[in-house]
Structure 1
Amino acid sequence: MGHSRSCEVAVIGAGAAGLVAGRELRREGHKVVVFEKGESVGGTWVYSSSVESDQLGLDPCRKIVHSSLYQSLRVNTPRECMGFFDYPFVPRPSNKERDSRRFPEHTEVLLYLQDFAREFELMGLLRFGTEVFDVHLVDEGRWMVRSRKVRMDGCDDSVADESEVFDAIVVCNGHYTEPRIAEIPGIERWPGKQIHSHNYRVPEPFQDQVVVLIGSSASALDISRDICAFAKEVHLSSRSAPDKQPMSKQPGYDNMWLHSMIERAHADGTVAFRDGSTVRADIILHCTGYKYNFPFLKVNGVVTVDDNRVGPLYKHIFPPLLAPSLSFIGLPCRVLPFPLFEMQSKWVASVLSGRLALPSQEEMMMDVESFYSKLDAAGLPKRYTHAMLDYQSDYLDELATVCGHPAMEEWRKQMSDMTLKNIRSRPDSYRDEWDDHSLVLQAYEDFHRYCKSL
């Protein structure tokens, strides 16, 4: 099937997903505008020392800080795995200010995305300082996008709204802004301070505090080790710790313990765990993830968010009743994000141009329902719908086949799997001690084939 049309497409968000979506859409011949509320590319990779006034993120009227980065963050995936397929995330030895480590700090990722935007001349597609606040269908299946300029000077003077019509919407607004909070019985009477990791930046405010940290994700591991150098005690509460197993001191730390889940918080300041232990805590730090949130999208319930399941979506991208004019890039988690964004974007761009076709609405809905049934049969709650840890390779290979793109490299799959195992077994050293040198050599052999300039 050849190219049959060029669409006017609005991409919402200029993080990694929005940038590669813009590139792939333009490559396919579409006219693209990328709306970005901030003043630069990078999305969640733009660090801000600011935190929200409500550090739990529950107040809907709070001024939202988009970034969830903490100052010490280093990536938890090797740079060889992270990069886009045809633009590897390789060190820049000619620039002494760049971080050349395999697991670099967050600023290096932002610089990589800035390099990507310049390399592929994407800046002309971007409309910075522009907030999209309303997206809805109008006549003939097109979309009205209403936006307004964001005042960066703190002034509250009103700014005129702008309305534009597009053929298609690609949602790339990220999912690390709206916090999910653990439900703790008795918390309303507990007198201590609560924070979500979205508002964690540096460890110094935890000096001499007794901290209960909820969660076992990579960021929870990082933050617990960050604050233990300052806190009096750090108590980790994890779903993975059996309820009947006594609390245990973490190897290598004198002031860090692992507990089961929290049973209850009490008015006297204590926190009781299911393992029977009790701690008098000053702070509860929620490292409990995020909610998907699309406040601008008005589709009359055709797409909903139910316990963090965005749906119904065909292959995590297309709502069957609104496909292909509405799509989502970057919803899956526990993945190699940039390669996944790229492959999803290739598919969306090709479908919009008519070069590839989607199944019928009925077939797409049947596929979604079959997928949900498999999750139910496996006992997985809805909140894990987009968690792909065990099948991301199959998913990416499926998209690659549809798009006529080579499958994900075997070295990338093996390197990713090995890193996950190392995170679990060596959380303190996996970034600086590794044993996958043969895979690194394979990666750079491929990089030289992809990019002759390397």
Structure 2
Amino acid sequence: MNETNRDGIAHGSSTEKRPAEARRIQANSGSQLRKPLCSLLPASMPSPSLRLAVVGAGAAGLAAARELRREGHAPVVFERAAAVGGTWLYASPAPAAAADPLGAAATHSSLYASLRTNLPREVMGFLDFPFTAARGSVVDARRFPGHQEVLRYLEDFTQRFDLYGLVRFQTEVVGVRREAGGRWAVTSRKLGEKGEQDEELYDAVVVCNGHYSEPRVASIPGADAWPGKQMHSHNYRVPEPFLDQVVIVIGASASAVDISRDIASVAKEVHIADRSAPTSTCEQQPEYDNMWLHSMIDHAQGDGTVVFQDGSSIKADVIMHCTGYLYDFPFLGDDSTITVDDNCVDPLYKHVFPIEVAPDLSFIGVPWKVIPFPLFELQSKWVAGILSGRIKLPSKDEMMEDVKAIYSRLETRGWPKRYTHNFSGGYQFEYDDWLAEQCGHPPIEEWRKLMYAANAKNKAARPERYRDEWDDDGLVALANEDFKKYF
């Protein structure tokens, strides 16, 4: 949600419309970002205006809507909520969530009340709309603000670029299919009404529905007979319900770290199960007298006992799954040209275009372990330019070779397929700069790259205090100087 826990060349190409052919690709992938791939067409070339459907009005959908309209297209944004913001729109779980604690049917946001960004605001913002504490609507001026401040920023972005009029609120997309003539039939329904559905034709569809709504749950032998409560972090909001309880938190991501600390303020004990920890791990955590780190859970028992891989055990009241999310595109149906296998969306050229129907179907925001907003912006610029014909895609064969190279790289490293869209390390900036080059946009600022690295180092050194203590004031000064050109 902050740094998303989820990095991208050839010539020639064809962007003519053809009937979709659903395919399941068995590939091995990895891509070299060095060869030129797309080319800019002469500025004098006509740019056709297309009617485009954008699914979602979170940060990705808003970025897409702005860039598509800037390119001369006519986007219509479908948003099932009553406001913009997507992941950043805080909502308490519906009453039905009490009967569905693992979130199998949940559609609300994944925010918890205490959430603060894990990236500094200077890094987080869109490239030409800084997320500064000097904006008029600022309430939370902290460098790592709470989630409400991010929502205000997205509302400011929507207002500043006059995007509200493009959004159909409380409207859910329930179906997307390609017609024989090459256009896309989008079926939607207005929430709260009698279930009537509308179907409209669009020239292309841009999917921006995020990947924080379909919980991934750990498999625990014996869990069916275990009498305690299991829930997913998707349904976590505040710590008070865990007063004096023994809670196991599965995971080591940003949300697991935050939620375990949050719950430790009221719980009797908190035990963190981390699959990356050595099997023998059983350690009390620094600065906490009621929190321990373990290796993964081995099994659960019917008497309430949970046994860890080192053989240690505890009787627990709650198992909290902070185990991430699955990509989910229910509106695309079973005949879609993409599949989701081991949480890999396949085959996507540059993590954006399904090859068989490129560029008429695209996905913004699939990568994780990234600075999300700048990535959304650059992907959206690229998609908008390709749809107008100003930028060309390579041939289908060349795109498929690029996808196969990604899988080949994963295989060489011994990484599972679910890491396909993981941009950890320096790859996200290589990818961002490649996108920027294709679009004729400057690369990601050097201060932003350095600040991102400095924050990661500071977070490792001060896991409890990095949001309030840092050593990169010089980079902050460079960022603020750079931002002056936008005010």
TM-score (ref. length: structure 1) = 0.95
- Superposed displacement of residue 66, structure 1: 2.2
The 3 A distance-change label for structure 1 pair 144 and 429 is same
Partner of 1:256: 291
Corresponding residue number in structure 2 for 1:146: 187
CA distance, structure 1, for counterparts of residue 349 and residue 56 of structure 2? 21
Distance 1:93 1:141 in 2: 44
User: How many angstroms apart in 2 are the aligned matches of 1:232 and 1:50?
Assistant: 25
Instruction: Report deviation, 1:422.
Output: 2.2
- Matching residue of 1:342: 377
- The amino acid of 2:261's aligned partner reads R
Per the alignment, in what secondary structure is the counterpart of residue 88 of structure 1? Answer: coil
Q: Does 1:54 align with 2:100?
A: yes
- Residue 140 of structure 2 corresponds to which residue in structure 1? 99
Q: Does 1:162 align with 2:198?
A: yes
Residue 299 of structure 1: how far off its partner (Å)? 6.2
SS at match of 1:296: helix
Paired residues of 2:124 and 2:374 also in contact (CA < 8 A): yes
Alpha-carbon distance in structure 2 between the residues aligned to 1:395 and 1:371: 13
Report 1 or 2 for greater relative contact order, CA contacts < 8 Å, sequence distance ≥ 6. 2
The percentage of aligned residue pairs carrying the same residue is 60
Deviations 1:272-326 (A, max 9, x none): 1112211111100000000000000136242000011011000100011010000
Q: How does 1:384-399 map to 2 (within 5 A)?
A: 384-390=419-425, 391-399=427-435
SS at match of 1:165: strand
The 5 A counterparts of 1:290-329 are 290-298=325-333, 300-329=335-364
TM-score, length-scaled by structure 2: 0.89
What is the Cα deviation at residue 433 of structure 1?
0.2
1:18 to 61, 72, 75: 61
Query: Match for residue 270 of structure 1?
Result: 305
Quote the RMSD (CA, aligned, Å).
1.2
Asked if the contact 2:89/2:109 (under 8 Å) is kept, the reply is yes
Provide the C-alpha distance between the structure 1 equivalents of 2:294 and 2:207, rounded to a whole number of angstroms. 39
- In 1, Cα distance between the equivalents of 2:334 and 2:386? 21
What's the counterpart of residue 483 of structure 2?
447
Q: What is the distance in 2 between the residues matched to 1:93 and 1:309?
A: 38
Q: Which deviations, in whole Å up to 9, do the C-alpha atoms of 1:382-401 show, x marking residues without a partner?
A: 11111111111111011111
Count of matched residue positions in the alignment of Structure 1 and Structure 2: 440
Please state if 1:125 is matched with 2:166.
yes
**Corresponding residue SS for 1:139:** coil
In 1, the alpha carbon distance for the partners of 2:458 and 2:303 equals 40
Give the distance between the partners of 2:249 and 2:334, measured in 1 at CA: 38
Question: C-alpha distance in 2, partners of 1:256/1:412?
Answer: 35
Residues 149-191 of structure 1: CA deviation (Å, up to 9, x unaligned): 001xxxxx62321110000000000110100000111111111
Once the two structures are superposed, the pairs formed by residues 198-277 of structure 1 within 5 Å of their partners are: 198-245=234-281, 247-277=282-312
CA distance in 1 between counterparts of 2:240 and 2:189 reads: 38
| 1:425 CA drift (Å) | 2.5
Offset of residue 107 of structure 1: 0.3
Does the CA contact (< 8 Å) of 2:107 and 2:213 recur in 1?
yes
Question: What is the aligned counterpart of 1:284 among 314, 319, 329?
Answer: 319
Give the gaps of 5 or more residues in structure 1: 152-156
Give the distance between the partners of 1:42 and 1:92, measured in 2 at CA.
Answer: 21
User: Deviating runs (4+, > 4 A) in structure 1?
Assistant: none
* Unpaired stretches in structure 2, ≥5 consecutive residues: 1-40
The question of whether the paired residues in 2 share the 8 Å contact of 1:92 and 1:98 is answered with no
For each residue in 1:312-342, what CA deviation from the matched residue of structure 2 results, as whole angstroms up to 9, or x when unmatched? 0001000110100000000111100000000
CA gap of 1:299–1:184, structure 2 versus 1, over 3 A, is closer
